[in-house]
Amino acid sequence: MTCANIQPIVILISGSGSNMVALLDAAERHHWQERWRAQVVGVLSNRPDASGLAKAAARGVPTETLDHRTFETRDAFDQALIVRIDSMVPAQSRPPLVILAGFMRILTPAFVAHFEGRLLNIHPSLLPAFQGLHTHERAIEMGCRFAGATVHEVTAELDHGTILEQAVVPILPDDTPGTLAARVLTQEHRIYPRAVEGWLARHAAS
């Protein structure tokens, strides 16, 4: 398989990378490379201390960091991030599929436009409800009976875009934000690989 024949994937993380691990597991278990010529070519974090970097490296996946704190503006960071991501991918295979897996940055319109149609995210709520942060606290405070997670295509509007997968979990009477987050995270690990596999099936490299 030549570089030109692969569908490269770059995963962006900021922390432990649990969704990244679920994606790497699925890629191996479900034979993404053989089925869709898809290969995770790199994992990049905006935090040098992100523990997920070591998990990716242990699996032989190249890792890089780009510390957002060294940039004066969000635009400057995102422009550098574009260059760094593209550098991880063979020129003839650009742009890659970029998967946000706990990447805690609001992306600029210029970044989203560069990877338009090839940028996926998972959000810990049933979008369009509870966009933004503190989703579990807000769901409990509002008296919701259910919570969940959503995989969606990324647009310039925060937590917007076409919904690809959702999972629903009940909110129990004694739930705390922590217990609810843990239960939702289990479902994130299930639906994110499924959503990516659906995307790959629709955009199989030729």
- Residues identified as active-site: 123
Question: CA dist 68 to 9, 85, 106, Å?
Answer: 21, 14, 12
Helix (H) or strand (E) holding 63: strand 63-65
In order, the DSSP letters of 106-172 are PPPHHHHHHTTTSEEEEESS-TTSS-SS-HHHHHHHTT-SEEEEEEEE--SSTT-S-EEEEEEEEPP
Q: What is the DSSP code (8-state) at residue 94?
A: P
- What strands lie across the sheet with 7-13, from one edge to the other? 63-65, 38-45, 7-13, 97-100, 119-123, 146-153, 163-170
Q: Coil, helix or strand for 57?
A: helix
Q: Report d(CA 138, CA 120) in Å as an integer.
A: 24
Q: Report d(CA 55, CA 51) in Å as an integer.
A: 7
CB 65 within 8 A of CB 53: yes
Q: Output the six-digit token pair for 132.
A: 């933004």
